[in-house]
Structure formats: structure tokens, C-alpha cells
Amino acid sequence: MTTAPDDVAAAVLAAIRGRRVVRALTDEPVDTAQLEAVLDAARWAPTAGNRHLQRFVATVDPRVLRVLRMVSPGMIQRPTAVVVVCIDRARAVAYGFRPDIPGLSVDVGTATATMLLAAHALGLGAGPVTSFSKAAVATVLGLPEGWTPELIVCLGHPADQQPAPMRPGSRVTWRDLTRWVPPADAPAT
């Protein structure tokens, strides 16, 4: 039986609306198959020129996770798995890109958004972390020459109680974030 396009669209939009950054996780390990499903989803994220210059480093090792937390002040959750999203800058240069081309950071963002949605779809809690020592993370993970860690995706099982949102208040609407050009109320010419 096939799913109607409207049903698929509704399910995808519901997943997007329902995903939250999870800041409190249990100590239950993330199943290897779930972690691999998150990584597999990330490879489907769009990339500049379809070159896939982002690289992923995954760990569930409690010792590595503990050290990563020590060098990542932004990691307030205690994940049982992480994926560090890196840029392979050496490979980017080999393709003829400048190592600081903005598209590389866009690729990190699209891969991260895809992983966050995949984790949510699998019932996992997830949250991105950008506050960390890049040099320390690179050392802890033994990253190859030319790889730079750009973002850490924390994964685990959501705790029943979550901290209050960092910026409580009403949600922003798409209208709050959008400007029409020409203005929507302007007459068409």
C-alpha cells in the first residue's frame, strides 16, 4: 500500500514542528542501529556540488564522551552518543575550493538539521553544540590532517523532565521572520 503525498507531507511537517533540542538525557545507551540510521540520514543531506566534504566522527565511548564534555562548555546535556560534524578542508582544497568557502558551513548545517530530524523520528533526543574547543576536540578524536570539527550533535534518550526553554515566551511565526519583496500588500504591476 502506498502513502498518499498529502499524508507524507503532513508527517514530514509534523516531524519538523515536533522536533525540539533535548537538553536532558537518560543514561540509557543509544542503540547502534539507531546511531547508524542517523548517520545514514546525514549522507542524504544536500551538499555543495554534491561533493560531501563534511565528515562525521561518532562515539559512544563513555571516556571519550566525558572528555568531550570537559572541552565543550555548550554541552549541558550528558549524551550517550555524539556525532561530531567535521569539514574535510584538505579535500575541499583538492576540489579547488578555498578552505574557508561559506558553502562548507552550509553543508554542516544541512547535515546537522537532517540528523536532528532523523533522531527525532527514531525517538531519540538530540541537540547541537557549537561551544567547544576545536583544537581539543580534534586532539581527543585524533582527527586526520585537514579535518576541522565544526559542530557536535548530542544524542540520547530524552529524560522525562526537561529544563525550561532558554528563551521562554511566545513562538515566532514565519510572518515574523519573513519580508516579502515587493511587499505583499503592494499592488502587482
The per-residue pLDDT for 164 is: 78
| Nearest alpha-carbon partner for 67 in 161, 124, 139, 166 | 139
Strands 125-129 and 147-156: antiparallel
Q: Report the chain's mean pLDDT, rounded to a whole number.
A: 89
- The pTM assigned to this predicted structure is 0.87
Q: Which 8-state DSSP code applies to residue 166?
A: S
Q: Is the pLDDT of residue 137 over 70?
A: yes
The per-residue pLDDT for 101 is: 85
Q: What mean pLDDT do residues 46-74 have?
A: 93
- Torsion region of 68: left, alpha or beta (phi above 0 gives left; psi -120 to 50 gives alpha): alpha
Q: What mean pLDDT do residues 162-185 have?
A: 79
The per-residue pLDDT for 57 is: 98
Q: What mean pLDDT do residues 53-76 have?
A: 96
Confidence of residue 175 (pLDDT cuts 50, 70, 90): confident
| Nearest alpha-carbon partner for 73 in 166, 183, 152 | 152
What is the Cα–Cα distance from 185 to 54, expressed in whole angstroms? 42
Confidence of residue 152 (pLDDT cuts 50, 70, 90): very high
Of 123-127, 155-159, 180-184, the one with minimum mean pLDDT is 180-184
Supply the CATH classification number for the domain 17-160. 3.40.109.10
Residue labelled with grid coordinates 540510521: 37
The full DSSP string for 60-103 is --HHHHHHHHHT-TT--S--SEEEEEEEEHHHHHHTT--TT-HH
| Structural domain spans, the chain | 17-160
Confidence of residue 23 (pLDDT cuts 50, 70, 90): confident
* Distant-in-sequence, close-in-space partners of 118: CB < 8 Å, separation ≥ 6: 37, 38, 41, 42
Q: Residue 155: beta bridge partners?
A: 81, 126
CB of 24 within 8 A of CB of 166? no
Q: Is the pLDDT of residue 7 over 80?
A: yes
Of 9-13, 172-176, 184-188, the one with minimum mean pLDDT is 184-188
Q: Is the pLDDT of residue 1 over 60?
A: no
